[in-house]
Amino acid sequence: MEVTIFIHAADDAFRILEKAKARAVGLLDTATNLTSETRWMREKKIQAILKGAQETKSGFQNFVATFVMLMVFWALLSGKFDTFHLSLGVICSLIVAYLSHDLLFANVRVGDGRLIAQRFLRYIPWLMREIVTANFHVAYLALSPKMPIDPQIITFRTKLESDISWVTLANSITLTPGTITIDIEDREFMIHALDRKVADDLDTGEMEDRVAHIFMEADHIYIQDVLDVSRIFAELKRGM
């Protein structure tokens, strides 16, 4: 009697364990599927970006894009929207676009322009915060009686690939108090730093990563980009 009960109990326990295991396997499968799915999508996107890197936009597209940007600039400057002034604006924009349509968008990859703009806008507040923090540090250096400065020149090799990202990084470094970009030569950044701390802050490479993220370059794909963790967690929660 006790033996049968025991066997039944063991059976039940075993079944429950089986069920739990199957459920866990199922959950893991969904998670893996999701991951591989997102990874596949990302890979496709990366391929597209890399493919785009080899071919630049055609001349006509550049012409139209330059014309539109110049027209917006004209409207901002002029502020007169009667036919006469607008037609003057169209003519002037056409002339300038014809003269320099290959300047504004030289070396631009066929990427998602809107995404780049969005990411750039999101980068600005971070840069502002960085500037404010660095300001306090430099003020401390200047105001403390011992003046513990330790000027030094550091060099690092960048992983960024296009001139526009180099310039963005160089100007971000110069804008941050305490560091100044002296020169860029063959991807080698030469930077003057006011003391050890600002140099170390720069060496962490966070700024470079963020700039790479804006322009979708190098290993710009953050881990949260590849594995959208929140989606997997949501799926796991639903399964529980």
Residues that bind other proteins (CB under 8 A): 66, 70, 73-74, 77-78, 80, 85, 88, 92-93, 95-97, 99-100, 103-104, 106, 163-164, 166-167, 170-171, 181, 183-185
Give the shortest CB-214-to-other proteins separation in angstroms. 15
| 62-to-59, 68, 153, 191, 216 alpha-carbon distances in Å | 5, 10, 40, 34, 20
Distance CA 69, CA 25 (A): 54
Q: Which is nearer to other proteins, 66 or 179 (CB)?
A: 66
Q: What is the largest CA-CA distance in the chain?
A: 104
Q: Which is nearer to other proteins, 14 or 73 (CB)?
A: 73
Do residues 157 and 188 make contact, with C-beta atoms less than 8 angstroms apart?
Answer: yes
Do residues 166 and 217 make contact, with C-beta atoms less than 8 angstroms apart?
Answer: no
* Assigned token pair, 177: 């108090």
Distance CA 173, CA 213 (A): 16
Instruction: Write 21-29 long-range contacts (CB < 8 A, 24+).
Output: 23/239, 26/239, 27/235, 27/236, 27/239
Q: If residue 182 lies in a helix (H) or strand (E), which one and from where to where?
A: strand 179-185
Q: Which is nearer to other proteins, 158 or 232 (CB)?
A: 158
Give the shortest CB-88-to-other proteins separation in angstroms. 5
Give the shortest CB-101-to-other proteins separation in angstroms. 8
Give the shortest CB-212-to-other proteins separation in angstroms. 16
Give the shortest CB-75-to-other proteins separation in angstroms. 10
Q: Which is nearer to other proteins, 48 or 95 (CB)?
A: 95
Q: Which is nearer to other proteins, 164 or 232 (CB)?
A: 164
Give the shortest CB-161-to-other proteins separation in angstroms. 12
Q: Which is nearer to other proteins, 101 or 213 (CB)?
A: 101
Distance CA 96, CA 67 (A): 8
Q: Which is nearer to other proteins, 163 or 206 (CB)?
A: 163
How far is C-alpha 189 from the geometric centre of its chain's CA atoms? 20
Give the shortest CB-29-to-other proteins separation in angstroms. 49
